[in-house]
Amino acid sequence: MSYILGIDTGGTYTDGVLLNFEGKVVVAKAKAFTTPQDLTIGIEECIDNLGEIDPKQIKMVSLSTTLATNAIVEGRGGKVGLILIGYRPTGEFPAQMISVVSGGHDGLGTAKCELDTEELAKVIGQMKGEVDTLAISGIFSISNPEHENQAKELVRREWDVPIICAHELSSSIGHYERTVTACLNAKLLHVISDLLVAVKEVLTSKKIVVPLMVVKGDGSLITEETALERPIETILSGPAASVVGAMFLSGMETFLTLDMGGTTTDIGIVKNKYWRMHEEGAIVAGWKTHINTAGISTFGIGGDSYIGVEGKGQLCVGPTRVTPLCVISMRYSYLIQELREIHRSKALNGTIFDGQTLDCWMLVKKPLSLESLSRDEQRIVKGLEDGPHNVKFLKERIGDFVSVFALKSLEQARIIGRISFTPTDALHCLGLLQLWNVEASLEGARILATTYGSSIDSFATRCIETMTQSIALATLQSVARKQGYTFDITKEKNFKFFLEPFFKQTKGDLDICVPIGLNYPIVAIGAPVSAYLPEVGNLLKTEVLIPEHSEVASAVGAAMGKVAEKITAIMKPGYKVHAPWGCETFMYSEDARNRILTKGKEIVLENAKKAGITNPEIIVNQDRVTSDTNYGEVFIEEYFEIIASGYRQEECEH
C-alpha cells in the first residue's frame, strides 16, 4: 500500500495526515504545535505522531500553509525595497523603502524615455544594507518588460540580493496591484524558504525522499522550486486546501466552508463542487493583489486572537495572534505568580507598552548576531533567555526601563512573541476546554475583568459572545463580497441600527427585529469550531456540519490536490501579443491567436512534464473584451489562460 503525506503548517498547529490515495481514505492523522523558533520541531513531532511509517510507502508529500497569509495579516516578513520605473507612487505599498527612476513604457510597449541608469545606481547604493529583498515595477511592464529586466540586471552586478520583477508575477492590467503583488512576493521569500527548508530537513532525516509539492491559493499544487521563486502564490494556500478537504470530508456539493485556526478564519462558498475564484485578484489584509486564488475571505479572528479591554464594557478581539496564557504556563508555571503580582499591584490595565499590563513576552528565536540589535533590544533578548516574563518583571531583570520601540521592533522581526489572554483562555475559564493550565487563564481574566467591570465568568462569557458575533459578521461579510459589495459591516456606522437587534434575536425594547438567514449549510473545519459554530448556526438560521477529521481538513485537502501548470497571455489591438515569452505583432488576429494557443500549450505541457504530471488535461479559458460605441463594436483585448492539470506519475502508479 502507498500513501500521500499531507502536511498543513498553520500559525498555531501543524497538522498531518496519511492518505491512501487510491481508496481516498484517511488512515492516520496527527497534530503538533507549530514552533516558529524552529519549524523543524513542530513538523517532526507531527510526523512522529502519525505512528510508524515506512518511508518507501510514501510516494509524495504535499504541503499547505497559512504562514504566508498570516505574515501579511500581521505585517511580518522581510524588509522590501521598491524601485518604481516611470511611475510615482499614488498609494501605499508594503515596502520599507521606495524610490523612483525615469523610464517605463506606454500601453503599446513603446519606451517613454530611456531607463535612467545613473539614478538607478544611486538608488541601489541607498538601499544596500537597508532592505532584505528588492521589488522592481515599471509602468506598463506587461506590454514591454525591457526596463524591468534591464534594472534587474544592473542591480545583480552591484548587489547579491533577491530581486522580483512585477511582470514575472502578473500579466494583468493594473500597475498598482501588480506592484503590490511584487512587494508582497519579495516580503514572503524568507517566510516560505524557511518553511520549505524545515520540511525538507525533516523528510531527509526520516529517509522520505519523494517530490515535495505545495498548495497554491487556487487549490492546485506547484513544485517546491516554483514556491521558492513565487511564494506569493501560496497566499490562501491553507484556506484553499481546506476547501478541497471540506468538500472531500463532507461529501456535500453546495455549502459555505468556514475554516477557523489560531490566527484567522477563512470563509468560502462552494456551489455544485465549484468554488468561485478571485477574478480580480485576492485581497489579503487590505492589499489587493493580482494572484489568482480561491474566492476566500480571510478575517483576523482565531482561537489565539488577542483580546483587548479598552475600558468598562469595551472589548475587542484580534486581529493579532498571541500565545495563550494557558498554553505557555504549562511549561512556565511561574508566569501565574507574575500575573498575581500584577493584579495585586493594581496596575490593572492600559495601553502601556503597546498592549496591556498582563502581556508577557517570550524569546521566539535567537538573533544571528546580538551586535545587529540596538542596546535596548539586546537587553530585552538577554532578559528573556531563560524564559518568558511580564514587562514588570522583565524590567526588574534588566535593571532598566523597557523600551516600547525595542519591544515592537523585536516583535516585528519575530525575535520575541507576545503572550496574553485569548478566546482559548476564555474557554478554559468557563470549563468548556481543559487542555492546558486553567489557573493561568483565570489569573489573566481576573486582571481584564476588573478593567472591564465584571466578574471573571461574565467577562469570559462576553469574550465568547464577541467571538461568536465576530464570526457571524465575518460570514455575512464574505457573502456580501461574493455579491460584489465592498463595504465593511463592522465599520459602517449605519449598520449598527440593524446589527444590535440581529444579535439580540428578540424584540425587547428595540423598535425592530432583524432576522437574517444564510441560504447555505456551513461546513465548519478547524480545531476551535465546535466551541463557536453551533451558536453561529443559530444566529444565521442554518445547518452546521462538523465532519470527521475536520480538525485536519487542510492537510487532507493538501493530499487530495492536483498539480496544475498555467500561463496567461493577452492580445491587444493591432494584434500585439503580450505573453511570458515576449511581445510579438501579427498581421491577422487568427495568426496571433494561434501563436498564443500553440506556444502556450507547448509551454504548459513542458512545465507539466517537469512537474511529473502524466496525461495532463489541457484547459483553455478565453475572454474577449469589447466596447460598444456609436460606430459599432470596438475590440479592447482578448485574454487567454492555458492550464495543464493532473496527478503526478507517482500517484497514478498506485
Q: Can you give the pLDDT at residue 300?
A: 86
Query: What SS3 class is residue 12?
Result: coil
Taken as a whole, the chain contains a residue count of 654
Q: Give the C-alpha separation, 333 to 99, whole Å.
A: 49
- Structural domain boundaries in the chain: 562-652
> How confident is the model over 478-509, as pLDDT tens digits?
888 777 677 777 777 667 667 766 776 555 56
Q: Can you give the pLDDT at residue 347?
A: 54
How far lies 407's CA from each of 209, 376, 391, in Å?
41, 9, 10
> How confident is the model over 106-161, as pLDDT tens digits?
877 788 899 999 999 999 999 998 999 999 999 888 778 889 999 999 999 989 89
**Which residue, 42, 314, 339, is CA-closest to 199?**
42
Stretch 187-195: mean pLDDT, rounded? 92
Q: Give the C-alpha separation, 334 to 339, whole Å.
A: 9
Q: Report the range of poorest mean pLDDT among 240-244, 413-417, 533-537.
A: 413-417
Domain 562-652, CATH among 3.30.70, 2.40.128, 3.40.50, 3.30.110: 3.30.110
pLDDT band, very low/low/confident/very high, at 419 (cuts 50, 70, 90): very high
Stated pTM of the model: 0.76
| Strand order through the sheet with 80-85 | 97-101, 80-85, 133-138, 163-165
Stretch 245-265: mean pLDDT, rounded? 90
Q: Is the dihedral of CA 309, 315, 316, 321 positive or negative?
A: positive
What type of residue is 198? Answer: A
Helix spans in 453-570 (H): 456-482, 496-504, 529-540, 553-560
Phi, psi at 256, each rounded to 5°: -100, 125
Q: Give the C-alpha separation, 644 to 558, whole Å.
A: 19
